[in-house]
Amino acid sequence: MSRSTGLVLLADQALHDTGDHPENSRRIPTVLDRLQGSDDWDRFQIVEPRAAGIEDIRRAHTKAHIDLVRSSAESAPSWIDGDTPVSKASYDVALKAAGAALSSVDAVVDPSESSPDSLFAMIRPPGHHATEGRPMGFCLFNNAAVAARYAVEHHGLDRVAILDWDVHHGNGTQDILWQDPSVLFISLHQWPLYPGTGWLEERGAGDGEGFTVNLPMPPSSGDREHSQAMIEVIEPILEAYDPQLLIVSAGQDGHAADQLADQLITAAGFNSLADRAAGFAAGRGIGLVALHEGGYNLATLPQLDHAILAGFGDFATDLSDPYSELGAIDVGWPERLEEIKRAQRPHWPV
């Protein structure tokens, strides 16, 4: 049986105006231009988002954090930190981006036959660097953590999993969920790289010990390394955890042509990651929500997002990629993989 998938579209994303910043308002429209011009557009169920309320954001962030985002927008144009600009509408757009994540959760948790198996929320600003009390790294509110806590508290789920394949470590998601066993956080990321977190020994604390899983990938890791990480580490952990919802922090900045990192994932690699994630979710009969994070090369991002949607929906698309010709590089991966397994064996069957 084929898997159904769809999109959550944030019409106001361009009002979060960051100028010529790498995380800019041209990113999502370039993706939608490709999708709407393809033969696959009719495959996608379109879901309209709602804005998140303050009570939704407070599940993941402090009042001071929310007040800082609001006041920074009121005094815009301004910068929250050296990486994170805001415009007059940024606070409102960030609420709508988080709301799109909540709308996505509502749709895939809904048991009706018309509900899609997965949804890809085309949102910005991204979220996974925003900690409980600090916006940072292009991120204002942590969309993934807000959505996970909403799924637990509003829908009554006991176990939610977040898989973050953005090339940068999701330090904010980790920070918010550090002691929370109701949300399993798994991050595939280049290490070392911004923000400098996500090493093997970071595994949560208190009741949440073991529910943070970091896979720090050596620079120049590509399709082979990420596929092996999924098969040998991530999927066994997901199976043991048995989540009732899978959230993907989908950042495509691990592509070989992205300017902000050094990984070598291709369009086929992202398609495979998405296919395996959606296959796991379908096999368990649970919904999947993907939230757009990084990916900054406007020439390649549209194809990568199309490849991911094809993986979610189990349909064919063009995966040709000139960077596939780079071939395998010895990056010290076998040794790192064994280190990852040793770090996780006290908690999980890897």
- Residues taking part in catalysis: 129
26 vs 240: CA distance, rounded Å? 40
**Three-class SS state of 63:** helix
Q: How far is CA 204 from CA 131, 181, 201, 255, in A?
A: 15, 9, 9, 29
Structure tokens belonging to residue 146: 């807000």
Alpha-helical (H) ranges within 110-210 are 143-153, 171-177
Q: Could you identify the residue written with the tokens 């596939």?
A: 324
The DSSP secondary structure of 77-104, one letter per residue, reads SEEEETTEEE-TTHHHHHHHHHHHHHHH
End-to-end C-alpha distance for the chain, whole angstroms: 30
Q: What is the DSSP string of 260-318?
A: T---BB-HHHHHHHHHHHHHHHHHHT-EEEEEE-----TTTHHHHHHHHHHHHHT----
Which three-class secondary structure state does DSSP give residue 148? helix
Buried b (16+ CB within 10 A) or exposed e, 204-225: beeebebbbbbbbbbbbbbbbb
Query: Cα 236 from chain centroid?
Result: 20
Tokens, residue 319: 């995966």
Q: Which of 31, 42, 27, 104 is nearest to 306 (CA)?
A: 31
Query: What is the DSSP secondary structure assignment for residue 74, as one 8-state letter?
Result: H
Exposure pattern of 43-70 as b/e (b: 16+ CB <10 Å)?
A: bbbebebebbeeebbebbbeeebbebbb
